[in-house]
Structure 1
C-alpha cells in the first residue's frame, strides 16, 4: 500500500504522530533519523503494521508521499542552545527526493526562525524547488504528553504556521484528519514561538513551586496543603507540584545562543530546577542524621527512576543525579522501578530490588522519586524504616515530604 504520510524521526515526537496517523486511517511511512529508542510494545507494533504503518527501506520512498513531517530530536547543544544537526540531516535527505506539491512540516522543538532560515534553504537547495511555490512548508509545535490518557492527538488542538497562507491551509488540511481543532498562527515564527512559550511556561512554574517547597520546609509549612487549598481558586492559578528535578525531552530555551536574547526568568528557572537533585540528597542526609545514621554506608533504596510516572522513558531523569550524589557520599544504593529492568549509573550497575517491601524494610532510607501507579504507598510507608517522598504522593503523615 503506498504511504500518504512520511514521519521522519521515530523518537518521542515522531512515534506518537505516526501512531495517531495510523489510528486515523492514514497509511504512514516511518523513517529513522538515528538510534531512536523504540517505545512500542509488540502488540502496539502489530496494530500499527496492520493499520498501514511500515518502516522505510530506502530514502527514495520519502518522495512518494503527499505529506512529510520532520520530527528529528533537537537535544541541548554545546553552546547551550538546541542541536539542530539531526533536523538538518533529515532536511537534506528529504530534499534529495522531494516532489512538487508535497507538504513539508517541521514538528521538532526549534528556535524561532528555524523553518525559514535553516529548513527552507536546505530543502530548496537540495530539491531545486521553491518553498511556497513548488511545495508547501509549515511549522507545528509538537504537543505530546506521554502517558496522559485525558489528552490525545485527537482532542489536543494543533497550531499551524505556514510560509504562505496556502502552506498553512495545506498543513491544516492534513492535521484536520488527526485532531478536532486546528489553530492557524500568522506564520512559522509565531508557531515556533508557541512551542518556546509552552515549554518555558512549564519550567518556570515548576521552578516556582520547587522554590516554594524549600521555603515551606524551612518555615515548617505543609506545602502540599497550601497547593491543595490554592488550586480551589477558579481563576488566575494553575497548580504545579514540586519534585526532585525536571526531566523529559522538552528543553527550556532562553534563546541566547540563537537570538542573542536572554529570558531572565527562564535562566533563573533552569538554575532552580537544576538544584533540586542536590536538595533531595541534602534532605536525605539530614533525615539519616536525625535518626542517628550517616549517609556514608547507609542502605538507600530509590523508587522510580524514570522522568515520568508509568513510562519507561529515562530522558533527563533527575534520578541519575540523585544517585550520583548519594554514591559520592558513600551510600550503598539499590533501586526499584517496574518499568526499568536494569539501571547503570557512572557506568556501574545499580542493584535492582526484586522484592519491593523486603527492600524497603531493609533499607535505612527509601526515597520515592517517581510515583508509578503500581506502588502501594500506604503499604510502603508502613514497611519502610524511613521514607522520603519527593512527589507528595503518600498519605498525609505517612512519610517525610519534600
Structure 2
C-alpha cells in the first residue's frame, strides 16, 4: 500500500523510513521545501538518522518527499505528524492539525484511512479533526472513510528507540476504523496495542508524559531541599535505585525541554476545565519545573559571589543548547530561558554546543536566531553545564580556572571550583 506521512520531523521521518523498510511505499509531505529538497537528494537533517538510511529508501523507489498535498489522492492511508504547541497563553494550539486536516479533506476519498499521531487532548480526533475532514470532503468518518489516533513514541538520540520495536497504541473512531488502523501498523511494528477509542489513545499519550513531568518535578524539588541540607540529590538517587522494587529513578535538571513534557500536561489541564475538573497536582508539577531556570541562575550568582565577581558584565558560557544529550534538538530547551535570565541580570551569555552551530528561529525566543556556538575554551568567568553531551564527560574542567556550575550531575571528578545546581 501507499502511505502519506505529513510532517517529516522527529516523528514523521523515522516513521516514514520504517514503513519503507517494511516494504511499503511512502509519500512524505512537508511544507518546508528545504527538508523536501534534502530528502530527495538522499541527505539527512538529523544527526541520529544517517543519510545512508534515506539513500537506501530513495534507491528502493518506495519513498518520495513532496510539498504537493494533491498527491494524497493516490494513497490508501494518511498519517498526521505535525506540531501541537502551546500558544502564548499556555493553551493548546491545534491549528497545525486542523490546517492539515483541511488540506487532506480536499483529496480525501472513500475507504481512505486518516490517522493522527500528534499529541493532543482527548476528543481532538473524533471532534475537531473529524469535523474538518467531513466538512471539506463531504464524506462521513466511520462510514465512507476511516479515522484513528495512534500516539507517537519517539525518543530522538536513543538508539533503543526504534519505531518497529516500540509497542504501538491505536484507537479507532469505530470498530471498523480500529481494525483498519491495526492492520496498517501491524505491517511495520512488532506489537500493536488496540484500545477502545481515540479518546483512550489520546489520554494514554498524555498520561505517559504527565507521569514523567510529575516525577521530574518531585526530584527537582528534592534537589533544592537536599541542596539546602548539603546532600547531593544525584548520590541519593543512585543509592535509591538499588532497591529492586517500588522505585524508578528520575533525574533533576535546569528545566524541562523537548516537545512533549513541557507542553503535553497543559493539554489535559486545559481540557479538564471543560468538565469542571481542576488538575492541581499536574499544575503544581508544572510550576516547580518552570521555576528551575531561576533556581539555577541563583546558584550561578552565588558561585560568582564566592569568586568576588558580580553577575553584571560576567562572561558566562553555557555548555549545551540542546534539551537532551547528543542530539541537535533544541525544542523548548531550558538553555534559552537561562540565557534570557542571565542577560536580564546584565551578564554576557554565550553557548557552546557540538550539535548546534547556529540557533534556528524559534517561536518563543526569536531574538536568539542566528547566534552562533563559540569554542569551548578558557577565558570565561563561569561555565554553566546545561546539557549532558558525551564530549563534556571527559573534559578536564580544572584547566579552565573558573567556576563550573553543573545542572546535570554529570561530572564525577570535581574541579576545585565546582558547584551543583
Once residues 105 and 219 of structure 2 are traced to their aligned partners in structure 1, the CA distance between those partners, rounded to angstroms, is 45
Once residues 312 and 172 of structure 1 are traced to their aligned partners in structure 2, the CA distance between those partners, rounded to angstroms, is 33
The number of residue pairs the alignment matches comes to 396
Indicate yes or no: 2:251 matched with 1:241: yes
What residue in structure 2 maps to residue 50 of structure 1?
A: 59
Residues 323 and 182 (structure 1), Cα distance of their counterparts in 2 relative to 1, 3 Å cut: same
Unaligned runs of 5+ in 2: 36-44
Indicate yes or no: 2:143 matched with 1:133: yes
What residue in structure 2 maps to residue 104 of structure 1?
A: 114
How much does 1:222 deviate?
1.2
Deviates more, 1:179-188 or 1:24-33: 24-33
How much does 1:342 deviate?
2.2
Query: Could you list the per-position Cα deviations for residues 28-47 of structure 1 after superposition, in whole angstroms to 9, with x for gaps in the alignment?
Result: 10111568975366545423
Correspondence for 2:304 among 284, 288, 309? 288
Indicate yes or no: 2:85 matched with 1:75: yes
Indicate yes or no: 2:253 matched with 1:253: no
Is the 2:111–2:144 Cα contact (8 Å) retained in structure 1? Answer: yes
Residues 42 and 155 (structure 1), Cα distance of their counterparts in 2 relative to 1, 3 Å cut: closer
Indicate yes or no: 2:399 matched with 1:401: no
Unaligned runs of 5+ in 1: none
Indicate yes or no: 2:318 matched with 1:305: no
Is the 2:359–2:368 Cα contact (8 Å) retained in structure 1? Answer: no
Correspondence for 1:18 among 13, 16, 20? 16
Normalising by structure 1, we get a TM-score of 0.92
Deviates more, 1:217-226 or 1:173-182: 173-182
Is the 1:8–1:70 Cα contact (8 Å) retained in structure 2? Answer: yes
What residue in structure 2 maps to residue 333 of structure 1?
A: 349
What residue in structure 1 maps to residue 285 of structure 2?
A: 269
What residue in structure 1 maps to residue 331 of structure 2?
A: 315
| 1:1-400 matches, cutoff 5 A | 4-33=2-31, 38-39=45-46, 42-51=51-60, 52-250=62-260, 251-254=263-266, 255-260=268-273, 261-343=277-359, 346-347=367-368, 350=371, 352-354=373-375, 356=376, 359=377, 361-398=378-415, 399-400=418-419
Once residues 135 and 350 of structure 1 are traced to their aligned partners in structure 2, the CA distance between those partners, rounded to angstroms, is 47
What residue in structure 1 maps to residue 41 of structure 2?
A: none
Once residues 190 and 401 of structure 2 are traced to their aligned partners in structure 1, the CA distance between those partners, rounded to angstroms, is 47
State the secondary structure of the residue aligned to 1:362: coil
State the secondary structure of the residue aligned to 2:396: helix
Is the 1:80–1:257 Cα contact (8 Å) retained in structure 2? Answer: no
CA RMSD across the alignment: 2.1
Residues 47 and 373 (structure 1), Cα distance of their counterparts in 2 relative to 1, 3 Å cut: farther
